[in-house]
Amino acid sequence: MDNKTIFQKIIEKEIPSDIIFEDELCIVIKDINPQAPLHLLIIPKKPIPKLSEASKEDLKILGHLMLIVGNMSRKFDVDDAFNVIINNGEKAGQTVFHLHLHLLAGNNKLNLPK
């Protein structure tokens, strides 16, 4: 049985995707179903299923992901206004159980609290 998530298959290049950036700890891809003009997914290479399962040993990875968000916001010239979302758990809308950060910017459809 194949237990790999879709993101694991993307990381291992088993399936193609629009890779924006890659380093030893993470990849950044465009979301296949964008909810904003810019919708990127920042994905650690380590298959942490969800944020609530991250541990102290993941400190470097978690910090790295946040810095990559900042880098991407500057790369795409949206550093003045963007949202970062992490869905944790099925009831919160998580569909892929490999931790990922959504970076959304532009005229997005989100109705977040002001």
Residues contributing to the site for ligand 5GP (CB under 6 A): 6, 17, 29-33, 41, 87, 93-96
What's the min distance (Å) between Cβ of 25 and ligand 5GP?
19
Verify whether residue 100 is a known catalytic residue.
yes
Q: With CA atoms as reference, report the closest residue to 103 among 60, 74, 89.
A: 74
Of 58 and 80, CB closest to ligand 5GP? 58
Of 78 and 104, CB closest to ligand 5GP? 104
Q: How far apart are CA 100 and CA 42, in angstroms?
A: 5
DSSP secondary structure code for residue 42 in this structure:
E
Q: How far apart are CA 98 and CA 7, in angstroms?
A: 7
Of 56 and 98, CB closest to ligand 5GP? 98
What's the min distance (Å) between Cβ of 32 and ligand 5GP?
4
Q: How far apart are CA 53 and CA 41, in angstroms?
A: 19
Q: How far apart are CA 56 and CA 69, in angstroms?
A: 21
What's the min distance (Å) between Cβ of 96 and ligand 5GP?
4
Task: Given the residues 39, 64, 98, 100, select the one marked as catalytic.
Answer: 100
- 11 three-state secondary structure: helix
Q: Which residues are catalytic?
A: 100
